[in-house]
Structure 1
Amino acid sequence: MSTVLFWFRNDLRLHDQPALRAALTSGATHLLPVVCLPAPDERTPWGFARVGAHRRAFTAAALRGLQVQMSALGNPLLICQAPPATALPQLARAVGATTVVCEDIAAPYEQAEVAALRAAGLQVRTVWHSSLLPPPRMPWPVDQLPGVFTTFRQKVERAGITPAAPLPLPTKLLPPPEVPVPVLQAVGAEQGAASIQQPTPPQGSDARSSFPYGTPACDGSETAALAHLAQYLARKLPHSYKDTRNGLTGLDYSSKFSPWLATGALSPRQIYADLKAFERDHGANDGTYWLWFELLWRDYFRLLHLQYGAALYRARGLSELPPAPHNPRGFERWCRGDTGQPLVDAAMRELAATGYLSNRLRQVVASYLIYDLRGDWRAGAAWFESQLVDYDVYSNQANWLYIAGRGTDPRGGRRFNPIKQAQDHDADGSYRRLWCTA
């Protein structure tokens, strides 16, 4: 008997799962699927939880859905309340495994996790599958990625690069190995299983939320993700996407794919395949093109990580600017939604109450922290990481660098005037009234 460990990371799905397929076709006779939950008390350097209640609850829902699907295929997911560097070597020794297969994530924290497993003597096979387009098919080497997104997009489109078709759901899994009870106890399996069964916080179904993750339609599971994609297309909402994408409230002003993309419950290739089928049936327009445009932005941020890696996490980012100052009092007021700026405060209260915020308002509040409060962009990025149900390590870091002028923005940063933004996007004050700041 030979066993391969499959470590779920930000890919909590069974459809379009190249990493899982690699494990299933590795020649092993048994499969041990594992996920490792972050410690509840893990803190950021800024003094708050690295994974807040909203993000934890949404991920738990994704894991509940994955557990149901895998159990139906005869191999339940093992949920560990322990760091991967602790849990995976213990499990591997217990079942006689030497190989771990997992998603490749090109960010420093996640790369360090893989390095720790290799240092422990495990063979780790990483599979890149979070982007729409595969990096090897780009018309340039990774280290020659265009420094401006528009150039990147134009070259990709001229080259006619398109995604591969998504992989189907597996119809069966390899059987699980027997794991001794003491080892299960040592890796926190009982605590892990219990933690994902905790009820969703009441904030998740806040009636004001633009993404009420505590409701069935916005559940974190792969099943809900695919159902959301299907209904979004069935209602022909892609045709109006470009016109509505800068909205501030409601479920339908944007696609809301991002929460499921962030956990990996939804594959970008599945979105693309279904979107192209929609265009064949109902026609393409600026709205459908803009969804492709946004998926390309998401890819660009991933490729930036492959190119620059840890440099994106320096205080100066990719720039030669001096380190940003940190304004502790201003930052605390910003987090609470108590700066005195009505649009900013409304947005920050929405984020704290619901774990979600429109893209337009993310830009506004990031700009306000950086330019008006003279705060450290890294603290803002960490707060988003803690709070957002759709936190994505690549997009979060690159977007904050972009606003701060420390990334690839050719303008050297983006400053948003919150008064003008309110006039343009909340002229009647309804959003500010909704969050009690007007």
Structure 2
Amino acid sequence: MTTAIYWFRNDLRLEDNPALMAACESAELLLPIYIHDKRLERNTEWDFPRVGVHRRAFLQESTNDLRLQLRLLGSDLMELSGNFTEVFEKLKVELGISQIYCEHIEAPEELEQISALRNLGFEVSSLWQSSMLDIEALPFEPKQMPDIFTQFRQQIEKKGLRFTDPMGRIKALPPLPTGDLDRLDSMSHSSATKTLFSGGASGAHAHIGQYFERHLVDTYKQTRNQLIGMDYSSKFSPWLALGACSARSIAQKLAEYETRYGANDGTYWLWFELLWRDYFRFLHFKYGSRLYGSKGLSDTKSHPFDDMKFKQWASGNTGNPFIDAGMRELKKTGFLSNRMRQIVASYWIYDMKGDWRSGAAWFESHLIDYDVYSNQGNWLYIAGKGTDPRGGRPFNTARQVKDHDADGSYQSKWLQDAV
């Protein structure tokens, strides 16, 4: 019988999952797994954890939810921990499986993982599926895509592209392979830390549903830069980051909403932001590992790293109350509004002359909605190391306070507790 592994990566869902669908259609027996790679438990080169407590907790909530959904279909999720190649080699020895299906992730480390597995003799079938627009539908080859977002958007809109239709929910999976699977599942499935959001596809479905039911999308453009509360922006990003929902499914719901209630500035702007997300993804096909070097796409290296300054910034002890409030919110909750992300990143790069890569790594460690493409893209954009024609985006902190926290309520909220 044809036996395969489905390796969940950042696609923790049964709805609109083409790679999982392909595995279900091809394999007679299927083992769904998630690997907690040991390399992510190491410290960064700046000596802080690669994955912090909030990210880890949200991931565990998400895999727990996925496991329940798989069990309802007579399958299960094996969570395995270790060096990922050793995990797969053990599965090959114990169960005789060499066929792997997974989503394609166009980032350096994730591409190296696929290459390593193929070099070990595994047959890996990976499918690109994390963007709102299918890569085959683009009006240009990704390697020839416009560098500037506005030109990218204009070409997309000129062709009349909105989103690629999502697949339906998988309703049946092949049986699990025989063997002592409980012995292989070595992970604890509990999480002591509670996060701001309910991880997993169930939480995503509930949140997205209430967002459209309450017509919050109508005011998205006006409220998206606010700093306090759950309703000022869509908050879809935590579930999108782990693939508990898909951008295509959200775009479809958005189109259905516009058909029923009419399009407006808010509905367009939400689509516009989903397109930004796609843009940062497709840039990886064009520039790859260049997006991760000190220079990025520029001619100059980043500022040298200063450990003392970094600790002040990261802990929220810079002496600038607005910046400190933002950094304390991030550390305490694992979340930060998009506006505050831009402000604190700018402050680190331009006011404190910090290394942008260490800031990006701090966000990677803490953000529950960490997404390799968007995180890298946004930090490059602010630092002037990406494709921004203006060569960087320094923010005037005093102006940002006046525009977004004139009454000081945000600062008061996050500075009341010492860090």
* TM-score in terms of structure 2 length: 0.97
Structure 2 partner of 1:385: 364
Whether 1:16 and 2:16 are equivalent positions in the alignment is yes
Counterpart of 2:339 (choices 345, 360, 363) is 360
Q: 1:91 — aligned with what? A: 91
Q: Distance in 2 between matches of 1:177 and 1:270?
A: 31
Rounded to whole Å, the distance in 2 between the matches of 1:92 and 1:22 is 21
Residue 99 of structure 1: CA displacement?
A: 1.2
Task: Provide the residue aligned with 2:202 in structure 1.
Answer: 223
1:411 matches 2:390: yes
Number of equivalent positions: 416
Task: Give the match's secondary structure for 2:359.
Answer: helix
Pick from 229, 243, 251 the counterpart of residue 272 of structure 1: 251
The one-letter amino acid paired with 1:299 is: D
* Of 402, 408, 416, the match for 1:429: 408
Indicate conservation of the 8 Å contact 2:53/2:193, yes or no.
no
**1:199 is the counterpart of 2:180:** no
Q: Choose which of 261, 275, 287 in structure 2 pairs with 1:308.
A: 287
Contact persistence 2:303–2:356 (CA under 8 A): yes
Deviation at 1:37, TM superposition (A): 1.1
**Partner Cα distance (1:61, 1:14) in 2:** 16
Partners of 1:41 and 1:25 in 2: CA distance? 35
Structure 1 contact 342–437 (Cα < 8 Å) conserved:
no
Q: In the alignment, does 2:17 pair up with 1:32?
A: no
Q: Please tell me whether the aligned partners of residues 19 and 127 of structure 1 are also in contact (alpha carbons under 8 angstroms).
A: yes
Following superposition, the deviation at residue 437 of structure 1 comes to 6.7
Which 10-residue stretch deviates more, 323-332 or 337-346?
Answer: 323-332
| CA drift at 1:46 | 1.1
Pick one of 246, 256, 262 that aligns with 2:241.
262
Q: Which runs of 5+ in 1 are unaligned?
A: 205-211, 213-217
User: What are the residue-to-residue correspondences of 1:45-84 with 2, within 5 Å?
Assistant: 45-84=45-84
| 5+ long unaligned stretches in structure 2 | none
Corresponding position: 1:370 with 2:349: yes
Q: 1:162 Cα shift?
A: 3.2
- The CA deviation at 1:150 is 0.4
- 1:81 and 1:200 mapped to 2: Cα distance? 20
Please state whether the residue corresponding to 1:35 is helix, strand or coil: strand
Deviation for aligned residue 1:242: 0.1
Amino acid at match of 2:286: Q
1:110 aligned onto 2:115? no
**RMSD after superposition:** 1.4
In the alignment, the residues of structure 1 paired with residue 164 and residue 403 of structure 2 have an alpha-carbon distance, to the nearest angstrom, of: 40
TM-score (norm 1): 0.93
What do residues 218-251 of structure 1 show as CA deviations (whole Å, max 9, x unaligned)?
Answer: 2001011011111000000110000000000100
1:331 matched residue in structure 2: 310
* AA in 2 matched with 1:136: E
CA contact (8 A) 2:61 2:191 kept: no
1:209 equivalent in structure 2: none
Q: CA deviation at 1:178?
A: 1.9
**Deviation of the 1:24 alpha carbon:** 0.9
Partner of 2:278: 299
Work out whether residues 89 and 122 of structure 1, in 8 Å CA contact, stay in contact via their aligned partners in 2.
no
In the aligned structure 2, how far is the partner of 1:384 from the partner of 1:268? 22
Between the aligned partners of 2:252 and 2:345, the Cα distance in structure 1 is 33
Q: Which amino acid aligns with 2:364?
A: E
Give aligned-pair identity as a percent.
50
Q: Distance in 2 between matches of 1:243 and 1:375?
A: 32
| Secondary structure of the corresponding residue to residue 300 of structure 2 | coil
